Structure 1
Amino acid sequence: MLTKFLYKQIDNTSLVVFRVFFGLLIGLEGFGAILTGWVKRTFIQPDFTFPFIGFEGVLSPMHKILKQPLLDFHVFGLNMADYSAGFYFYFAIMGICGFMVMLGYKYRWSMGVFTVLWTCVYLMQKTSYNNHYYLLILLCVFMWIVPAHRYFSLDVKRNPTLKKISMPNWCLWIFILQLFIVYTYASVAKMYPDWLSGEVAKNLMSSKQTLPIVGSFLQQNWVHYVLTYVGIGFDLLVIPLLLWKRTRVFIFFCSVVFHLFNSFVLHIGIFPYMSLALCVFFFEPETVRNIFLKKKEVYKGNEVIVSSYKNIVIPIFALYFISQILLPLRHWTFQDNVLSTEEGHRLSWRMMLRSKTGYLQLKVVDKESGVVTYVNPATYTSPKQATRIAVKPDMLWQFVQFLKKKYAEEGKEVEIYAIGRMRVNNHPYQQLFDPKVDLAAEEWSHFSHHTWLLPFKSKYDKNPE
């Protein structure tokens, strides 16, 4: 029964249309990162980028190589070395690959290259971490394996034998299941006191006062409550309502308003438009065809073409979706509150749930002489990185290891202590890092709680002290 469901042939119009939108958006992402200055701010200006722990051996050297100037000459008084670092070529290649995906040219290669390059971008830096970047990796892998180039593509024009108007049913449902997981966890994660009180929405909108036309409007309390509960309701219901034919058109137009609002107010790049493009998987093939590909024949057969790899493919997909269900729950296996410790936060669809601020300095003690030096992380990092170090334990630990190594190069063995406070939403400022623990001597663990993280004191506790 499962095999028949997964390998039943269905019309491939939605996948073909999504490929065009997807390629356009990731192409714009590659070139847009250059033109908006994101590449320069994130990868070129900082000395190091805080890669995911465990990947430093490959990604840190890669970062150093890519940020080196490739040309060195002057035009109109401008030093062209500032504009020709390897990272620009890196992102330009991604942009080109994106447009090749859109056109369906050398599809497997262009999609594969973009997937690998974007995954490295994601793993190479955490300063601008966003769950949407992780989602893009998953979508890229999906698009890499599905036959999205079998119609309306340059590959088909070059090799007509590739042309098909159908695809296996699983090519549709992997996208739907992934979106259901993402939206459902995003909704459930919002069901906690700070969000339900409207506090998080208020904090988010407080930085939008200068927006034209709507800036002052967004500061009203009733707006914060609307955003709070619309956010929960939309995330929880959007996929079921898109699947139900009677509510499909209504919720699609709600999605347009919701995602365009996010794009205008929150400035989260291509992802509102990616979310809208994914809606094509929920509409009938005839509807999608009549709007986008009027000359395409609609597949009306009911063949079941079972892949020779089904004994491998089905278990792989089963394990994948089980992991997608379990990963967002792993923060419950860690001690204390994920809002504070960040343990189990990433890869869990906990989107825009809190704001964190803090201040920090590091006390460096020379073991031999006993001389104490105080270090401000901003001395070595960008301002944005320094703010992250003050509130994110893994980035602090990485920076401490950097300092430890730096002093070791000077022949000094040191102890390093973190002194500072941080604040989650409107909770009281409090210590997150135990100031009595030498962080230079601590090991990092991906799977267990770090005892140098102090318990979170919530304002809702009867006895917060």
Structure 2
Amino acid sequence: MHWLISKKEKFDQFLFRPIDNAPLIVFRIIFGLLIFLESVGAIFTGWIRRTLIEPDFTFNFIGLDWLQPLPGHWMYVYYAVMGVFGLLVMIGYRYRLSLGFFTIMWTATYLMQKASYNNHYYLLIIICLIMILLPAERYASADVRRKPQIKALSMPNWCSWIIIIQLWIVYTYASVAKLYPDWLDTTVVENLMLGRKDYPIIGDFLQLKTVHYVITYTGIIFDLLIIPTLLWKPTRKLAFAASIVFHIFNSIVLQIGIFPYLSLAFTLFFFEPEKIRSIFLKKKPVAELSAVQLPLKRNLFIALGAIYFVIQIGLPLRHWVIKDDVLWTEEGHRMSWRMMLRSKSGYVNFKVVDKNTGETVIISPKNHLSRKQYRMIGTKPDVIWQFVQYLKKDFAEKGKDVSIYAMGKISVNRSPYKTLIDPEVDLAAEKWSHFRHHSWILPSEKE
């Protein structure tokens, strides 16, 4: 019993001991700036126009058909408002309210379209939700000016570790997912770099086979080891230098928005809090660290944290209990940190048969979709199914009861084209399930 009490005390000491809150304060300022830049960047780069305004409809997450872009040019206003919330987060003005509204708006745009799906967008939702819980407004903020009594120089140790563990999960899954033949033989990276052939100065360099091998195996090793090496003091500075090189390379070559810089900002939580204070917040007083203070409902707090991380660890594994290869079916791909793992190309047309007259018409989605949506639809079964439901509804409004069949092929990592969807199955009569394999997706070679 004494041993159990001792373990519990050590656990509480680890989670709840106070540390200087400088890393969290500095991260809040950088985080607010980055989400502001992400929001206004979507306006000025044309992302909103291409993704949310030009298309006749968007491929929302299935079951959320009611979640649609605002009409006309109102999505520009929508993102401008998000940018304002980002600035309010940065300065710490009504911090939780501002970040809460940003999180809701960002999540809505994530769920209302899949043409620009990106694991990083999902990560941003998670970080926003975590940051809402953290006392990031307790220093160097407008909220402290409004309410001086909330000012604090320290925070519980778990405030850093919740972010560290979340990142550890993300990076580990990203590394393990790369351990498959097409990545290991550099096929994936070669295909990825081929799209960068026209880059000035570095375009030809990126086509070298040696570079492909370096990128391939650096990706595996970096993702697997970056968190442990940042945690271990003897390797921390070297790991930080590697992070700078890795993420700046990704920013230049892959052009993935704010996320390389957000990843660099995360390293704040791995250095000694006092070091961060001495570099970034020189006027901040040294925190007088008091004794451990347990939350009022300690057991509930720990239980909720455990449940959260069980979900975060379990969700990316779901594709292992779904039949066939996720690279082929896409079932279980999203929200699983399978980042830039494959390239796909494909085409699909739809045969629509009037059940009453037998009249048949062939429809190309190219006439209904934006360029980006058209590139996507040929390779993703859920999007094919959604487009069939769109066609079914369109014909129903014209008084026609139809069967709809998909006819197309896909190539994964430039392999030979093969049929993805069973052309004999009436997709208009099929239901969608988030939790099981769909038999109308034909088996992959692996299966």
Which bracket does the TM-score occupy, shorter chain normalised?
over 0.9
> 1:300 offset after TM fit, Å?
4.8
Runs of 4+ in 1 over 3 A off after TM superposition: none
- Provide the C-alpha distance between the structure 1 equivalents of 2:402 and 2:48, rounded to a whole number of angstroms: 34
Aligned counterpart, 2:379? 391
- Provide the C-alpha distance between the structure 2 equivalents of 1:191 and 1:140, rounded to a whole number of angstroms: 30
Match of 1:337 among 307, 318, 325: 325
> 1:132 offset after TM fit, Å?
0.2
C-alpha contact (below 8 Å) 1:356/1:391 kept by paired residues: yes
Aligned counterpart, 1:405? 393
Q: Any idea what the Cα deviations from partners look like across 1:156-198, whole Å, max 9, x if unmatched?
A: 1121111100111111110000000000000000000000001
Aligned counterpart, 1:67? 71
Aligned counterpart, 1:80? none
The answer to whether residue 228 in structure 2 is matched with residue 219 in structure 1 is no
Provide structure 1 residue ranges, at least 5 long, that are not aligned to the other structure. Answer: 69-84
Aligned counterpart, 2:193? 205
Q: Any idea what the Cα deviations from partners look like across 1:216-267, whole Å, max 9, x if unmatched?
A: 0000001000000000000000000000001101110110010000000000
Aligned counterpart, 1:252? 240
- Provide the C-alpha distance between the structure 1 equivalents of 2:293 and 2:132, rounded to a whole number of angstroms: 20
> 1:7 offset after TM fit, Å?
1.8
Number of equivalences = 438
Query: What secondary structure is seen at the aligned counterpart in 2 of 1:56?
Result: coil
Within a 5 Å distance, the mapping from 1:80-119 to structure 2 comes to 85-119=73-107
Aligned counterpart, 2:3? none
- Provide the C-alpha distance between the structure 2 equivalents of 1:111 and 1:309, rounded to a whole number of angstroms: 25
Match of 2:251 among 263, 267, 292: 263
- Provide the C-alpha distance between the structure 1 equivalents of 2:288 and 2:421, rounded to a whole number of angstroms: 62
Q: Which amino acid aligns with 1:56?
A: D
Q: Any idea what the Cα deviations from partners look like across 1:264-313, whole Å, max 9, x if unmatched?
A: 00000000000000000000112111211011123252521122243332
Aligned counterpart, 1:377? 365
Match of 1:155 among 118, 135, 143: 143
Give the RMSD, CA atoms, in angstroms.
1.1
Q: Which amino acid aligns with 1:323?
A: I
The answer to whether residue 439 in structure 2 is matched with residue 435 in structure 1 is no
- Provide the C-alpha distance between the structure 2 equivalents of 1:310 and 1:54, rounded to a whole number of angstroms: 37
Aligned counterpart, 2:5? none
- Provide the C-alpha distance between the structure 2 equivalents of 1:18 and 1:274, rounded to a whole number of angstroms: 9
C-alpha contact (below 8 Å) 1:43/1:67 kept by paired residues: no
- Provide the C-alpha distance between the structure 2 equivalents of 1:41 and 1:404, rounded to a whole number of angstroms: 25
The answer to whether residue 241 in structure 2 is matched with residue 232 in structure 1 is no
- Provide the C-alpha distance between the structure 2 equivalents of 1:303 and 1:375, rounded to a whole number of angstroms: 70
C-alpha contact (below 8 Å) 1:363/1:373 kept by paired residues: yes
- Provide the C-alpha distance between the structure 2 equivalents of 1:303 and 1:441, rounded to a whole number of angstroms: 64
C-alpha contact (below 8 Å) 2:153/2:285 kept by paired residues: yes
Q: Structure 1 length as normaliser, TM-score?
A: 0.93
C-alpha contact (below 8 Å) 1:10/1:302 kept by paired residues: no
Match of 2:260 among 244, 251, 272: 272
The answer to whether residue 35 in structure 2 is matched with residue 26 in structure 1 is yes
Aligned counterpart, 2:167? 179
Match of 2:44 among 27, 30, 35: 35
Aligned counterpart, 1:5? 14
Match of 1:447 among 415, 421, 435: 435
The answer to whether residue 59 in structure 2 is matched with residue 50 in structure 1 is yes
The answer to whether residue 356 in structure 2 is matched with residue 352 in structure 1 is no
- Provide the C-alpha distance between the structure 2 equivalents of 1:243 and 1:27, rounded to a whole number of angstroms: 29
Match of 2:403 among 382, 403, 415: 415
Q: Structure 2 length as normaliser, TM-score?
A: 0.96
Q: Which amino acid aligns with 2:15?
A: L
> 1:49 offset after TM fit, Å?
1.0
Q: Any idea what the Cα deviations from partners look like across 1:23-47, whole Å, max 9, x if unmatched?
A: 0000111111111111111101111
- Provide the C-alpha distance between the structure 1 equivalents of 2:235 and 2:145, rounded to a whole number of angstroms: 38
Q: Aligned residues: percent identity?
A: 58
